[in-house]
A and B are shown apart, each in its own frame.
Chain A
């Protein structure tokens, strides 16, 4: 059973456009929601993360929107650049340590066209 559902599977965006990736979860015990960026041949790298006590977190061009009642969260990449082309994973976990037993979404392959 997929604990975290992610869509779309792939996304093509023009340079300068907005990339939006969505995730949904069922387990209300989750209290840490990170997004990871993975380039080919590399391990995932933490991009941005949010806890459910806030509805939005912004870091540069990357924003997480969190809807606790709907059990959904999304990643918005503003002014998308070709260098943003990568696979993005949402994840969720519970407990104070956060990173213990991360449940990952299925990933979204983003391609930004120049």
Chain B
């Protein structure tokens, strides 16, 4: 299994500012994922972050808005840039362990409110 720590757990931010969310994993993993969960909604994949390469973004998400860093095999950050109230969501970090088991582990999430 994997233990994932996300920081901050919640934040209230002003419109137009940026917030960087950190994700730390207790083991080395190849693939890390960032999801968005809007209030009462399902989870939507924002991007996949592999160490040593550019993140791959899903349709509807762009690097200028959600820049991602992946400096090593245990850490990643997601920045939500130039925030608007529509960015108010829970942002979740996830990792997939190797071996093709298919299991994904999630952090506890970062609850972001933009005012």
State the A residues within 8 Å of B (CB). Answer: 32, 34, 36, 41-46, 49, 51, 89, 93, 96-102, 104-107
Contact = CB atoms under 8 A, between A and B. Distances in A.
Contact of A106 (B4, B31, B42, B101): B42
A76 to B, nearest CB: 21
A41 B101 CA distance: 26
B62 interface: no
A101 B94 CA distance: 11
Nearest to B100: A96
Interface of B: 4, 31, 33, 41-45, 48, 58, 92, 94, 96, 100-109
Determine chain A's interface SS by DSSP, over half rule: loop
A42 B109 contact: yes
Given A89-B43, A104-B43, A98 B108 contact: no
B42 A34 contact: no
B96 A99 contact: yes
B102 A106 contact: no
B33 to A, nearest CB: 8
A43 B65 CA distance: 23
Contacts of B44: 104
A32 B96 CA distance: 13
B29 to A, nearest CB: 10
